[in-house]
Amino acid sequence: MISGKTAVFGIFGYPVEHTFSPAMHNAAFAKTRFDGCYVPFAVHPGNLGDAVRSLLPLGIRGVNITVPHKERVIPFLDELAEDARLIGAVNTIVVEGGRLIGHNTDGRGFLRSLREETGFRPKGKGILLIGTGGAARAISFTLALAGAGSLLLHDIDAGKAEKLACDVRERTGVRATAVNAEDLRTEAPDADVLINATPLGMKRGDPLPCSRDLVRKGHLACDLIYNPPATRFLKVARSRGAETLSGIGMLLYQGVIAFELWTGKKAPVSIMKKALAKQMGRG
């Protein structure tokens, strides 16, 4: 029941109609008996500043920020948490003491999904990321700070991979190297984890993010895509004997961490997971 005391949360994106986050957070509020509700807001890029400035006067307690606003929202905030500052993007705003604080829970969400769902510990491990956009930035810094041994970064835009490699080396001291398509062939077999951080696999008929023979038994193959839950990359990886992890866990745990930042309560993970699965089944 929404009352005059209900705390309002939400998500700013454009478009936003396909978001799974309201199902996950509203289920969590109900389970924990937290008097809150979570609503989607379709915020046109031209209205982002006005939308963010409206949070305080409307008494909204926090929002998630999604495509295409994660980087552009930064100038409208009062403060950035360490994760958002390092990554250079925000996916969660917490309203605290009249101030807007930007966090980024994507990288930590991925790390928690790795740990919870596969038991994998990144310390000393070799990580290969294909695609070096926003999601890869979040994951690269988080894995580097969690003790990853080395990061190999590949992107069709070589300059983007080079920039991320340079930022990770400078800010974390971890060995991060941009690799071209040829190096990918020689380096991939030695990596422990292969991560698809490109959108390839979202649409039927998309090519694989890398050649199938680069994936071997002993690899952990991760796809950040959560819809479909089992991409062609993951199916091929499984058929080649690799362990696999879909992007659903990252989506779940970035939400779990946001819920905990907003409410100070422990998130009901299994309820959020169920709500997500149910909503995806409907989609």
Residues binding ligand NAP (CB under 6 A): 106, 130-136, 154-157, 160, 197-200, 202, 209, 224-226, 247, 250-251, 254
Q: Least Å distance between CB 38 and ligand NAP?
A: 16
What span, in angstroms and rounded, lies between the C-alpha atoms of 195 and 176? 15
| Cβ neighbour number for residue 265 with a 10 Å cutoff | 14
What span, in angstroms and rounded, lies between the C-alpha atoms of 283 and 274? 14
Q: Name the residue whose CB lies closest to ligand NAP.
A: 133
Question: Is the CB of 31 or the CB of 163 nearer to ligand NAP?
Answer: 163
Q: Least Å distance between CB 226 and ligand NAP?
A: 5
What span, in angstroms and rounded, lies between the C-alpha atoms of 59 and 220? 44
List the one residue out of 175, 122, 183, 187 whose CA is nearest residue 151. 175
70 is catalytic: yes
DSSP character string of 54-79: THHHHT--EEEE-TT-TTTTGGG-SE
DSSP H helical ranges for the chain: 21-32, 48-53, 55-58, 82-87, 106-118, 134-145, 158-172, 181-187, 232-239, 248-263, 269-282
Question: Is the CB of 72 or the CB of 96 nearer to ligand NAP?
Answer: 72
Q: Least Å distance between CB 252 and ligand NAP?
A: 8
Which candidate in 70, 125, 160, 273 is catalytic? 70
**Angle, vertex CA 144, rays to CA 190 and CA 84, nearest 5:** 140
- For residue 13, the cross-strand partners are 42
Q: Least Å distance between CB 134 and ligand NAP?
A: 4
Question: Is the CB of 122 or the CB of 247 nearer to ligand NAP?
Answer: 247
The DSSP call for residue 126 is E
Judged by DSSP in three states, 87 sits in helix
Question: Is the CB of 9 or the CB of 226 nearer to ligand NAP?
Answer: 226
Q: Least Å distance between CB 207 and ligand NAP?
A: 7
Question: Is the CB of 135 or the CB of 242 nearer to ligand NAP?
Answer: 135
What span, in angstroms and rounded, lies between the C-alpha atoms of 106 and 108? 6
Residues involved in catalysis: 70
